[in-house]
Amino acid sequence: MDNINTVLEPERHLISIMLRTFVDGLDTGRRQGLEQLQPFAEAEGLVVTGDPFGIFHQEVTPDSDGPLEVCLPVDGLAAGAVGTNGAPVRSYRLAGSRYASIRVSGAEEAFPAILAA
């Protein structure tokens, strides 16, 4: 796992799904969110332009269910609609700015290892 970095990101287009989950549901929630976003992007004619990521709007712990926004960078905006399970898909421009970031991959993404991030 890399250290926390600050990165300067340009403005980018995202599609996202907001979910509420406790920490033990992070793996399933993130996976289900991406399983909805990827076919949504394809159906809207959007090209994925980067790795998926999450924005934690509040803490996700055993006692707090976030929310967590599962995001997929794409090459444009969609009209916005609902995903395959009826969850609203949001399409917007994320402002360019300096963000705190930590990259995790493989086994580091799974609960409980993700808690270290």
pLDDT 10s digits, 10-29:
999 999 999 999 988 888 98
Residue 8 falls inside a structural domain: no
Q: In whole angstroms, give the CA distance from residue 73 to residue 49.
A: 5
Q: Flag whether pLDDT at 81 surpasses 80.
A: no
Q: How many CB atoms lie within 10 A of CB 8?
A: 8
**What are the φ and ψ backbone dihedral angles of 21, each rounded to 5 degrees?**
-155, 145
Query: Is the entire prediction scored with pTM above 0.85?
Result: no
Under the banding of pLDDT at 50, 70 and 90, the label for residue 86 is low
Query: Does residue 51 sit within a domain?
Result: yes
Is residue 50, in this structure, part of any structural domain at all? Answer: yes
Q: What is the radius of gyration, based on Cα positions, of the chain?
A: 14
Residue 75 lies in a domain: yes
Asked if residue 6 belongs to a domain, the reply is no
Average pLDDT over residues 83-87: 63
CA 14/CA 73 separation, integer angstroms: 4
Confidence of residue 66 (pLDDT cuts 50, 70, 90): confident
pLDDT band at 49 (very low <50, low <70, confident <90, very high): very high
Domain ranges, residue 53:
13-93
Q: How many domains does the chain have?
A: 1
Residue 89 covered by a domain: yes
Residue 101 lies in a domain: no
Cβ–Cβ under 8 Å, residues 78 and 44: yes
Q: CA dist 71 to 28, 51, 62, 63, Å?
A: 15, 9, 22, 23
Residue 107 within any structural domain of the chain = no
